[in-house]
Structure 1
């Protein structure tokens, strides 16, 4: 009886605390949607709703009422930002108070989470400084010929598809294989052969990580919103199989290059330099201080996130872009004509300089990223109390803030008829009319996407190679509109985005 009374008392105390916690925004007199116990405002996540759907509901409900509103991600409170000026403050002007994303990472139990995307504070700063040199214009130009070679392999794979009876293909699968080979070659110096072998090790593991995650979307969302608690529970993001695979690949690549004194001036070379620096320090190296260089596990963590970032984000962007070109054949023809005109000026040779002259291609990709941003939102966390500009409100220390990128990109006040695919939205005249925070596919400020140029370039090269040889069209099996996968946080197309190639 005593134990029962104690248990009931604990349950009652927790219930009262929870009700009080969910009254936070009401007590502060901040507009918000009424939360549900344990779920907050996240009902349906991973089952009937994607993050983007929940964000869109909040955005439409409160847009124009306040610069921000209250939000609950399960048992974690957040500020949902609606005002573009406030977004600019958070990402750029007042960045020093919003450097952290607050993502889950657990270097002890899940070493591959100690990467540039997940880390915060000084470890992130040290990593960003160390890794920035690999993404300079000079380094990317150096990789260009390798990128073109992979794109030519894509063209060869497409010819084989056309030679089949109907010429139909799954856009998501094909472009995931293309980006796997691209990153394998440019970053790891490895020939993955995913375009010729859909079941190659790299392709299989990339699919497995993204399509068969360790946890359900519900648990993933919990780890995202309560990373400190998840870390105390010693939870992991990546499966043991994925961790062992990438540790082995990186270790074998590093050992082979060191043994044979191979230099390719690529991503792995830079990581090897940082590992060598740490090895030289020996016992003088400070544990977990990545400014001292990298251990093998830390090196593998950066290699993994480089692979995943390019594998899924670029392949999804390319799939959605080709999908829209198939639906809008007049836009496809305009773009193809530009590609032919520019290549003719350069004697039909695809080079770095000629891509810079394909202005309509840039507009097409920008509009793709507007309509289909890979990230539904950007997350930040306050490092200290923050007085919200032009209000009397203060964001408390460690409060999460959410910037709803997809919702902003589909705001009809910013982009009339937002579901229409219109590359002319990105003419210089139209860009000048919009607020700079109205377009955020790569984030903004010092913590924007470090691989923006590389990712965009591999998409550009792939589209050029395809359009100069093939006409792309929809089939009776093409889903219109395209549907998003509910399995993860990123905005990726569902499997089976069917399209058709025809040789020109």
Structure 2
């Protein structure tokens, strides 16, 4: 017995050393996007390349048409995300990203109404309030020679999600040590050890939930998050508070299905029942997806506007002109009229997509289009977003920031399957419209008050962080602001 335990521990130790060496090698050399770029560039005439993830085949797809087919028409064959965990792994894992097959379809159907135009319009006022707080706080850095943009904007997006998801006023801009901000930092804190254990979780599959792995979010922060959700729900129920935010909308689904179970319309043992764990878990994933990727995109946009003053002024002119048509009010409709703003955001997402690649897991044996190659269940597919969106054959002069690529005159030239910042097909990001609105409101409010300019610490070009699975800058984004001499309302 002791021999078997010793051998098991020795095996895990050897695996750890091997993986640590493996990931440390890449940490010393380049980021994941650059690795994908090397593979992409090495086979310029191929539609796909065969790789392996551990012992599983991994189809590295270069062809936009094949990506369209895989993610849309052949979705049933690869409907799971390649980096998902077992939904039962932790108290906050029963969410949309980890759900698969029928469970995912059921959950997606229930959550989609949360992001309708009407629901987003109802949250517009909360977004404006958070953006006003951001601009008010920026007065404290007007005279600074530089400031790190991502940390500032991450505090703003944390406040947005706390408000629009939970109805809470966290004021993270003033309290950088708030537990909400700490929870957000911990979620995206990546170390070599954590990268290793993420890989191990993928390798172990359902077995991962029986093993407590280090390197993740601390239990006390998970407990804080769960308690926040529970206490907010209890307070609202006790005091009759109704607020049209994500938490309220999900709680409506929860209460509806509880009533259906009580009335016999739904089987209490149905694995797809929207229960409390599902509510908490999806609150978590909305929080995580809502603050990090959005804050990074806003920061990247500010970086490019600082480098391209002509574009910044053209955007400022549009903002002033459109808001004047709406009596100086930044209504939901006014924001939607700002077409050049939309182009600026689209081009930012092309140059700096938050996620470097789409990954899919094969759920039914899949014959690769126009070949005799059959990928067995459990295989992976990788679609390199960064490499595609920087391909000069798809986007001429790809390193130049050019929002006009997305103008009405030119948008038809964008090849389907080549532009994927929010994903593609049924698994496209459910919160994309909310994220876009959040980015729009933040940029409009900032530009109405400030010129964004370079500083001595501005890095050009930006280097990517080698430790992260996300497409984030290694040394931050350092900029400076100057109050506009003529300030619009």
2:146 to 161, 168, 171: 168
Whether the 8 Å CA contact 1:172–1:495 is kept in 2: the answer is no
Give, in whole Å, the separation in 2 of the partners of 1:40 and 1:405: 27
SS at match of 1:115: coil
SS at match of 1:412: coil
Alignment-derived partner of residue 385 in structure 2: 405
Shifted more, 346-355 versus 482-491: the winner is 482-491
Whether the 8 Å CA contact 2:88–2:209 is kept in 1: the answer is no
SS at match of 2:313: helix
- State the shift of 1:340 in Å: 1.0
SS at match of 1:72: strand
Are 2:102 and 1:122 aligned?
yes
SS at match of 1:478: coil
Equivalent runs, 1:64-463 vs 2, <5 Å: 64=45, 66-162=46-142, 165-166=143-144, 168-211=146-189, 215-224=193-202, 227-228=205-206, 230-231=208-209, 233=211, 235=213, 237-280=216-259, 281=261, 286-287=268-269, 289-290=271-272, 292-295=273-276, 297-463=277-443
Give, in whole Å, the separation in 2 of the partners of 1:113 and 1:340: 44
Structure 1 residues 463 and 410: CA distance shift in structure 2, 3 A: same
- State the shift of 1:279 in Å: 4.2
Whether the 8 Å CA contact 1:103–1:119 is kept in 2: the answer is no
Moved over 4 A (4+): 37-43, 212-215, 231-237, 282-285
Aligned residues: 470
Alignment-derived partner of residue 27 in structure 1: none
1:52 to 33, 39, 43: 33
Whether the 8 Å CA contact 2:87–2:95 is kept in 1: the answer is no
Shifted more, 108-117 versus 217-226: the winner is 217-226
Are 2:44 and 1:63 aligned?
yes
SS at match of 1:356: helix
Structure 1 residues 102 and 498: CA distance shift in structure 2, 3 A: closer
Alignment-derived partner of residue 20 in structure 1: none
- State the shift of 1:235 in Å: 4.3
SS at match of 1:493: coil
Whether the 8 Å CA contact 2:82–2:360 is kept in 1: the answer is yes
- State the shift of 1:286 in Å: 3.8
Whether the 8 Å CA contact 2:53–2:380 is kept in 1: the answer is no
Whether the 8 Å CA contact 2:115–2:431 is kept in 1: the answer is yes
- State the shift of 1:276 in Å: 2.3
- State the shift of 1:53 in Å: 1.6
Structure 1 residues 109 and 96: CA distance shift in structure 2, 3 A: closer
2:472 to 492, 495, 504: 492
- State the shift of 1:278 in Å: 4.8
Give, in whole Å, the separation in 1 of the partners of 2:393 and 2:279: 45
SS at match of 1:138: helix
Whether the 8 Å CA contact 1:40–1:72 is kept in 2: the answer is no
Unaligned 5+ runs, structure 2: 12-17, 485-489
Structure 1 residues 125 and 470: CA distance shift in structure 2, 3 A: same
Structure 1 residues 53 and 72: CA distance shift in structure 2, 3 A: same
TM-score (structure 2 length as normaliser): 0.89
Unaligned 5+ runs, structure 1: 12-36
Give, in whole Å, the separation in 1 of the partners of 2:157 and 2:94: 23
Per-residue CA deviation, residues 35-85 of structure 1 (Å, 9 max, x unaligned), is xx9799978344433221211111111131x22111123443311011111
Whether the 8 Å CA contact 1:414–1:438 is kept in 2: the answer is yes
Give, in whole Å, the separation in 2 of the partners of 1:276 and 1:456: 30
TM-score (structure 1 length as normaliser): 0.87
Give, in whole Å, the separation in 2 of the partners of 1:192 and 1:247: 16
Q: CA RMSD in A?
A: 2.7
Shifted more, 270-279 versus 195-204: the winner is 270-279
Alignment-derived partner of residue 445 in structure 2: 465
Per-residue CA deviation, residues 112-149 of structure 1 (Å, 9 max, x unaligned), is 12111122112211111111111000000111111111
Give, in whole Å, the separation in 1 of the partners of 2:317 and 2:151: 27
